[in-house]
Amino acid sequence: MAREMMPGRRRFTAGSVGADLLILLWFVFSLFPIVWMVLLALKTRSQQTSTYFAFSPTLENFGTVMSRRGEDLTSVNFSGALLSSVLNCGGAVLVSLLIGIPAAYAAGRWKYRGSEDLMFQMLSFRFAPELMVVVPLFVIYNQTGLFDTTYGMIWVLQLVTMPLVVWILRSYFQDLSPELEQAALLDGYTRRRAFVMVALPLVRPGIAAAALLAFIFAWNNYVFPLILTDSEATTVTVAVTKFLGGGGQAYYNLTAAAALIGALPPLVLALTIQRYLVRGLSFGAVKA
């Protein structure tokens, strides 16, 4: 009779050890670009193109990227771009949540003629190649004064954030039993109050997950800020590439340092709301 394994215990066999080693190798291989970027960010300019691991590490690049010294050296105002990214993406997510949550609730609760078409239409914003819509947007933005402004970026980023928020939250509202709100209605709640007091608190993990994903997608967007901003509202993704320089004068070490700094805000945000995120992403994963 086969001996049953105790939960939490496993038998070590050559096969399982080999599998673990393979996974470990894959883990190292997958993470290597990140490791390389960290190493590059710690190198001086004369060491930046060397492929050796032995070098004298310095944190100076991070200071250079964020300071006036870096701007004088490369003409890139990275700290300004960082602030712009926070404002653009934070604003875009906020607007998407304000409009997208009621929209998702309505889409999740009521079916009407063309409702699926409408949802698909919204999703199709994510499918459209940005380069195909950016030229008319560029012309319109120049005509309306939205070019190179935070308001303009918040608006255009709705193409990125709104479909995510609506589609993710619609599934949460669909999974939520309508009896809860019906009970509240029986108790004399208005539909709006039932939504705010009953439904909304129950999908908080979903809101956190949707907001985080929308923020990350907005943060990573490149084409819209590239074309629709110049110096005032430009973002981290565009500013990082400027450190690459040109004409044989590249600052790979500063590029790596800027990229690491640029990756921090979404990372910190993800860690902060990790508790909600894990619950949120698994919520509704299994449907009857």
Partner 1 sequence: MTTRNTSRRNFLLGGAAAASVPLLNACGVGGSTADNSGAAANDVTGGFDWKKASGTKIKILQTPHPYQQSFQPLLSEFTELTGIEVQADLVAEADYFTKLNTELAGGTGAHDVFMTGAYFIWQYGPPGWMEDLDPWLKNTSATSPDYDFEDIYEGLRTSTRWDFKPGSPLGTGGQWAIPWGFETNVIAYNKRLFASRGVKPAETFDDLIQLATDLTDRSKNQYGIAFRGSKSWATIHPGFMTQYSRMGCKDYTSEGGKLVAAMNSPEAVDFTAKWVQLAKAAGPTSWTTYEYPDCTRDLGNGNAAMVYDADSATYPKNKPGASKEAGNLAWHPGPAGPDGSYATNLWTWSLAMNAASKQKLAAWLFIQWATGKDAMSKATKAAFADPTRKSVFDGAFKQTLGAFPGYLETFEKVIDSTKIQFSPQTKFFETTEDWAVALQDIYAGQNAKSRLDALADSNTRKLAS
Nearer to partner 1, 24 or 139 (CB): 139
CB 89 within 8 A of CB 223: no
Q: Is 147 in the site for partner 1 (CB under 8 A)?
A: yes
- Which residues in 236-265 contact partner 1 (CB under 8 A)? 238, 241-250
Please check whether residue 221 is in contact with residue 237, taking contact to mean a CB–CB distance below 8 angstroms: yes
Residue 278, phi then psi, degrees to nearest 5: -60, -45
Give the residue with the Cβ less far from partner 1, 231 or 272: 231
Q: What is the DSSP letter of 246?
A: B
**Residues from 115 through 134 that contact partner 1 (CB under 8 A):** 129, 131-134
| Residue showing tokens 């939960």 | 7
Q: Which of 279, 262, 253 is nearest to 74 (CA)?
A: 253
Angstrom CA distances, 123 to 69, 163, 223, 237, stand at: 44, 5, 19, 24
Distance in Å, CB of 52 to partner 1, minimum: 10
Of the pair 87, 227, the CB lying nearest partner 1 is at 227
8 lies in the binding site for partner 1 (CB under 8 A):
no
In this complex, which beta carbon is closest to partner 1, that of residue 156 or of residue 164? 156
3-state secondary structure of 1: coil
Residue 49: DSSP 8-state: T
Contact letters (x/-) for partner 1, 12-51, by CB under 8 A? ---------------------------------xx--xx-
249: phi then psi, degrees, rounded to nearest 5: -120, 80
In the bound complex, what is the minimum distance in angstroms from residue 168's beta carbon to partner 1? 29
Q: How far is the CB of 46 from partner 1 (least distance, A)?
A: 5
User: How many amino acids of this chain bind partner 1 (CB under 8 A)?
Assistant: 35
Give min distance, CB of 59 to partner 1, in A. Answer: 19
Task: Name which position in 38, 39, 99, 227 contacts partner 1 (CB under 8 A).
Answer: 227
How many Å apart are CA 181 and CA 194, to the nearest integer? 6
Among 55, 138, 155, 167, binds partner 1 (CB under 8 A): 138
Residue 245: strand, helix, or coil = coil
Q: How far apart are CA 54 and CA 132, in angstroms?
A: 46
CA gap 173, 104 in Å, rounded: 7
Question: Are 237 and 76 spatial neighbours (Cβ–Cβ below 8 Å)?
Answer: no
Q: Which of residues 52-111 bind partner 1 (CB under 8 A)?
A: 74-76
Nearer to partner 1, 50 or 115 (CB): 50
Look at residue 249 and give its three-state secondary structure: strand
For partner 1, give the closer residue by CB, 135 or 271.
135
Q: List contacts with partner 1 (CB under 8 A).
A: 45-46, 49-50, 74-76, 129, 131-136, 138-140, 142-143, 147, 226-227, 230-231, 238, 241-250
